[in-house]
Amino acid sequence: MTGPRLTSLAESLPSTVPFVGPETQERSLGRPFRARLGANESRFGPSPRAVAAMAAAAQDAWMYGDPEMADLRAAIAAHHAVTPAHVMVGEGIDGLLGTLVRLVAGPGDAVVTSLGAYPTFAFHVAGFGADLHRVPYRGDHEDPEALLDRARATGARLLYLANPDNPMGSWHDGTVIEAMINALPQGALLVLDEAYIDLAPASATPRIVADDPRVIRMRTFSKGYGLAGLRVGYALAAPDLIRAFDKVRNHFGMGRIAQAGAMAALADQAYLGQVQAQVATARDRIAAIAAANGLSALPSATNFVTVDCGRDGAFARGVLSACIDRGLFIRMPGVAPLDRCIRISAGQPGDLDVLEEVLPQALNAAARG
């Protein structure tokens, strides 16, 4: 008797996932976290209008969601002053990235990203057998010039950049992104991950013509809109690329409740404004707590703050571990030199009270080794 026969590609991949969820860590600890500040979820929650819309939609959950997601795509299109043909909705940016890589990058094709950037993109690239080329950050920012140079040298099909960036919280002005698009080598597609753009300065948003075939923009309802549990993301791109998603996407991947909640959240821009203000207040407090402990908070255009622990990755991992042991869920960048830092999501005042209590204890524990 034999077991399932994996493909040679699947056999070659490590048995791993990009992230270990907080629930997995809670099960290991045997207790819930006191504060959940590691996954960059919105601790300020979704719009009450979105909650009401989801509750109303729940009675129709016996039906599949509209596979064309027509109403949601129309609402997103109106919000961005484009047509529904420029919009694709999927299971978060993560799901859309997987579909995009499947469409554009096959075995042996070159794909370029930054060393230490959002790991799920790299996870998909490996899963479809493409060759991943990484360039280092320049300081605490992704390096557009180095990314472009590597794309030219490798003939890359995809070039991934997040603006604002995860895990550092840094950002480039929109004009930098516009110049980057104009400098793309022939045949390369810029994957512009804008998961945090709703929380960034207006100047970070580039001006991109809707029909530009050189770029695909990824947006999400998980951050500013507080709907991470629904997994709703969307892509903005030229219609030819958007139509191609229909070749391979999960047509029934977006349920009725998710579609209703996302539409109602998008319609409540006043609530998004409240969340933006709360996030800014929380970022300021995280920076103050870091400073009180002799640490430096990096400027952030996201709903998290990356804090430089002032030493090496081993020390920062010690701080992280001590925070986890004390019931504070946070995360950190995974590669040097970014891994000198820890990353703390914006939270409610009570969450940040836990941070204020635990961080000095964690620093003392890490210093003792």
Full domain range(s) for residue 90? 48-268
Residue that is last in its domain, among 268, 296, 322: 268
* Buried b or exposed e, range 97-122, using 16+ CB within 10 angstroms: bbbbbbbbbeeebbbbbbbbbbbbbb
> How confident is residue 5, by pLDDT bands cut at 50, 70 and 90?
confident
Looking at the structure, tell me whether residues 184 and 307 fall in a common domain. Answer: no
Looking at the structure, tell me whether residues 62 and 33 fall in a common domain. Answer: no
Q: Which amino acid type is present at position 2? A: T
Instruction: Note the pLDDT tens digit of each residue in 307-341.
Output: 999 999 999 999 999 999 999 999 999 999 999 99
Residue range 167-194: mean pLDDT, rounded: 98
- Tell me the CATH number at 170: 3.40.640.10
Output phi, psi for 139, to 5 deg: 65, -125
Looking at the structure, tell me whether residues 282 and 165 fall in a common domain. Answer: no
> How confident is residue 19, by pLDDT bands cut at 50, 70 and 90?
confident
pLDDT at residue 1 tops 70: no
pLDDT at residue 17 tops 80: no
- Report the alpha-carbon distance of residue 321 to residue 331 in Å, rounded: 9
Looking at the structure, tell me whether residues 225 and 362 fall in a common domain. Answer: no
Partners of 233 in the β-ladder:
90, 220
Residue range 245-254: mean pLDDT, rounded: 95
Q: Which two tokens stand for residue 244?
A: 């191609």
Instruction: Determine if the peptide bond prior to 18 is cis (ω within 30°).
Output: no
> Is the Cβ–Cβ distance between 180 and 144 less than 8 Å?
yes
Residue 132: what pLDDT? Answer: 97
Residue 369: what pLDDT? Answer: 80
Mean pLDDT of the chain: 96
Residue that is last in its domain, among 268, 292, 326: 268
